[in-house]
Amino acid sequence: MNTQKIKSFKVEIVPSTIDCKQLNQQNAETFYTAEYYSAPLLKQVVSDFESALKTVSGLETTLLETETRTVNAGSIQFNVKAIPTSNPSYMKVADSIDHYLTDLQNANQQSIRRDNVRKFRDGSYVKIDEVSDKLNEFIAESRNSNVRYEITMQNQRQLPDIDMLIIEPGTYRDVSVQSALTYVFAKEQLKLLGSKVVTPFKKALKQETGFNDKNLPGEVHVDSFGIGKYVFMVTSVPKPETKYGESAKQFIDYVNEAMQNPSMTRQKNGRNYIAIDTLAMVYRSFVAQNTRASMEQRVDVLPVPKADFVLVGK
């Protein structure tokens, strides 16, 4: 078996002047190397070192207030800021609202009796207090208590001028001077590769398809482009984009308004009710208002096969 164990990898340092906006062979090779070789290695360095920084900082994952602590590695000072978050996910709230309204309508159609629901001449109504309580329940359930970290650097010395970065995966889980220096290089290179190589090259490929926000595909469409020793396959998928979170917020505002405005509800025995079908119609109208035609474009890369007759042009 001809298996070679690899201990380290060489990652070429690309200059800040690099520009991959053009679809040519050199840029294709730079993109492929960046996306499938350099970036995965650099991301691993960043992930391992930042995990080490969080551990060394001693900041807990369950904090009540924002805290910042300093970790030094040689002349480089890292500020680790831990920010406790418990903001609700309105995407989850929207999903719960949709299920709740669907259950209300299904129970009504099947004549299933439910608490806080009663029939009037023009249809079935639900007590507005229940709707409000449900919304508060959905918001509470969607809160994820966790800690978000922000890591910044100070006193960063001038980086040495090198052409190649040697990376040994799995060796950056400590806050040493060498790990810190490699981390700084990795962070800067990832930012550069994203903004000057990967993003502009993919953008140019997607533009070749002819599709954009004003010219969307009617169905899934695949375009393939041969550039140098690679074949780039761009799959364009029509995909409506809906701001469900915004729809949930608008619906919550609507229910709160109904709670305060008797003209929006039906009164019976001192209780206020609102039509189930009206609630469903209003929520789905918010969803429709917050939905726009859009598409998703995925880029896949294949090597040109050795056999010349496999690929067929126009």
User: What tens digit of pLDDT does each residue of 88-102 get?
Assistant: 999 999 999 999 999
Please report whether residue 218 resides in a domain.
Answer: no
132 and 107 both lie in a single domain: yes
13 and 70 both lie in a single domain: yes
Identify the band that residue 263 occupies on the pLDDT scale cut at 50, 70 and 90: very high
Measured distance CA(179)–CA(265) in Å, rounded: 64
- Residue 221: what residue type? H
Please report whether residue 76 resides in a domain.
Answer: yes
69 and 181 both lie in a single domain: yes
pLDDT at 67: 94
pLDDT at 308: 66
Please report whether residue 296 resides in a domain.
Answer: no
Count of structural domains within the chain: 2
152 and 191 both lie in a single domain: yes
Please report whether residue 250 resides in a domain.
Answer: yes
Q: Note down the domain range covering 100.
A: 90-143+242-291
Please report whether residue 47 resides in a domain.
Answer: yes
Q: How far apart are the first and last CA of the chain?
A: 42
95 and 75 both lie in a single domain: no
Cα torsion 243, 248, 253, 257: sign = positive
Please report whether residue 232 resides in a domain.
Answer: no
Please report whether residue 101 resides in a domain.
Answer: yes
Average pLDDT, the chain: 93
Angle at the Cα of 70 from the Cα atoms of 64 and 76, rounded to 5 degrees: 150
Contacts 24+ apart (CB under 8 A), 49-52: 49/172, 49/173, 49/175, 49/179, 49/180, 49/182, 49/183, 49/186, 50/149, 50/151, 50/183, 51/173, 52/172, 52/173, 52/174, 52/175, 52/179
28 and 128 both lie in a single domain: no
61 and 168 both lie in a single domain: yes
42 and 81 both lie in a single domain: yes
281 and 156 both lie in a single domain: no
Nearest to 221 by CA among 179, 116, 193, 212: 212
pLDDT tens-digit readout, 120-131 = 988 899 999 999
Measured distance CA(127)–CA(255) in Å, rounded: 11
Please report whether residue 310 resides in a domain.
Answer: no
Encoded tokens for 314:
């126009």
19 and 128 both lie in a single domain: no
Among 208, 227, 250, the domain-final residue is 208
Measured distance CA(163)–CA(12) in Å, rounded: 6
Measured distance CA(164)–CA(9) in Å, rounded: 10
Q: Is the pLDDT of residue 210 over 90?
A: yes
55 and 187 both lie in a single domain: yes
15 and 61 both lie in a single domain: yes
Q: Is the pLDDT of residue 295 over 80?
A: yes
